[in-house]
Amino acid sequence: MSVNVAVVGATGAVGKEFVKILEQRKFPYTNIKFLASARSAGKEIKFDGKTYIIEELTEKSFAGIDVALFSAGGSISKQFALAAVKAGAVVVDNSSAFRMDPNVPLIVPEVNPEDIAKHQGIIANPNCSTIIMVVPVFALHKVNKIKRILASTYQAASGAGWKAMKELEDQTRDVLDGKQVKPEVMPYQYAFNLFSHNSKIGPNGYNEEEIKMVSETRKMFHDESIMISATCVRVPILRAHSEAITLEFTNDISEQEVREILAKAPGVTLVDDREKNFFPMPLDASNQGNVLAGRIRRDTSLAGNKGICLFVAGDQLLKGAALNTVQIAELLPNVKGKGCGCCGCK
């Protein structure tokens, strides 16, 4: 069955990826419209061999729409998502607006596709750093329950949108040309530097990005007992986040077992060549849908055989955002397409 689709935030970094992915995956649509702010309304956008005019987003934009893909920021989602639902659309939202709402399922198709049946009109896409972590980690968790996760992220400019990506490019040129750097999008010089993730620090010393990784993982795993701590850092990479992850399992597990599980895990590509010192890199992860996982080794700080360290990299704009959102939409009962390709759906 083909559906009528609306893309909200079509001119943003993630919105542009929506356009590419919907076309690449041949998402089954009858009609499609592209929505953005008044500033972008009237611009042209090419999709599936045709040229469309971007329309201004209003509460009346969703008449006749079956599926609305949102990526325009939390405030826009809060303002317009309910209007879309009232008009009869299912909203798949890429912002933080509804992620921790107990009535809104938070979905990664490789992790908890069954939760989509609980939706009441809105489905949330998790935070990008959370998605990139849980795709490989949940594959291991299903085999041997994980008790504890320590994660350190190396997050690219793409996570802050195209303006941050451009600022990194511009600053890099300025530094190499000996010019003074003037941060505007990021709080500090981004080129040739790194700093704590630019989200608000809470009273416990953790920033919002770190808290998201904790709360979202527990929600999707349906396990409030799992111990999680994260340290999130911005690094001068244009695209694709990387993460160093340390896991403590309930039962003993070997490095080889981890490799075998990840080699077969949906949405994961094993990159683990010790002889060549070749492991996941953001450059290799860019522009592909799978999360790269490797650098698998025993956690020598933990006694016994229950600790494993690994390193992962994933494209923040794809699996960390747009691709995961479209995969969720492909799971909807009224969408008869190719399926997400990761969980056996049709």
Enumerate the active-site residues: 128, 241
The distance of Cα 300 from the centroid of its chain, to the nearest Å, equals 30
The distance of Cα 20 from the centroid of its chain, to the nearest Å, equals 16
Full strand arrangement of the beta sheet holding 241-249: 195-196, 227-234, 146-155, 241-249, 307-314, 291-298, 268-270
Rounded CA separation 90/124 (Å): 11
Question: Quick one: DSSP state of residue 207?
Answer: B
How far, CA to CA in Å, does 316 sit from each of 67, 94, 305?
23, 12, 32
How far, CA to CA in Å, does 128 sit from each of 115, 173, 300, 323?
19, 28, 29, 11
Could you give the 3-state DSSP secondary structure of residue 320? helix
Of 55, 109, 54, 99, which is closest to residue 77 (Cα–Cα)? 99
End-to-end CA distance of the chain: 12
HSE of 321 in the Cβ direction (CA atoms, 13 Å)? 30
Rounded CA separation 59/270 (Å): 45
Rounded CA separation 59/205 (Å): 39
Could you give the 3-state DSSP secondary structure of residue 232? strand
CA angle centred on 222, ends 108 and 139, rounded to 5°: 50
Q: Looking at the DSSP assignment, which residues form a beta bridge with residue 32? A: 5
CB atoms within 10 A of CB 43: 13
